């Protein structure tokens, strides 16, 4: 939608999402077009009231993922689970397992060393 006010910048500093920003009045007037964008092009919209995020328009599939993660956070894609999801098409499960094993082996080999911090804040 070219009339939207741009991409949504999330609460994390400098983090710009793929969602379009749109005011409540514009969303009301173009609701059918927004729904079509979500349904057919996978678009996301952050609907703003007085310049502040008030709601989001996303696909039903994405809403179901959010609700499932809220019901059972252990099913969410955070931490290592999220990383594995990113590698799904790039690496096989065995390759991912080998990578994780190598990380743990490297950690086990690391030795503690003394650090002189006396001149850090001089």
Domains of the chain, residue spans: 7-61, 77-109
Domain 7-61 has CATH 3.40.1160.10: no
* Residues 35-76 pLDDT 10s: 999 999 989 999 999 888 889 999 998 888 888 877 776 655
CA angle at 70 for the pair 66 and 72, rounded to the nearest 5° = 115
Query: Residue 29: what pLDDT?
Result: 94
pLDDT category at 26 given cuts 50, 70, 90 is: very high
Give the range among 13-22, 56-65, 105-114 with minimum mean pLDDT: 13-22
Q: How many CB atoms lie within 10 A of CB 77?
A: 13
Contact partners, residue 66, CB within 8 Å, separation at least 6: 58
Strands 45-49 and 16-23: parallel
- Residue 10 is predicted with a pLDDT of 54
3-state helix, strand, coil in the chain (%, to 5): 45, 20, 35
Q: Supply the pTM of this predicted model.
A: 0.50
Q: Which pLDDT score is estimated for 1? A: 42
């Amino acid at each position: 939608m070219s009339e939207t006010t741009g991409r949504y910048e999330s609460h994390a500093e400098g983090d710009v999402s793929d969602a379009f920003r749109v005011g409540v009045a514009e969303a009301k007037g173009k609701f059918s077009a927004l729904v079509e964008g979500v349904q057919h092009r996978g678009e996301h919209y952050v609907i703003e009231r007085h310049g502040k995020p008030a709601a989001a328009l996303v696909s039903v599939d994405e809403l179901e993922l959010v609700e499932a993660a809220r019901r059972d956070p252990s099913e969410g894609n955070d931490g290592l689970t999220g990383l594995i999801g990113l590698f799904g098409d790039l690496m096989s499960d065995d390759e991912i397992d080998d990578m994780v094993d190598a990380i743990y082996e490297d950690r086990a080999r690391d030795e503690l060393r003394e650090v002189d911090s006396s001149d850090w804040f001089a």
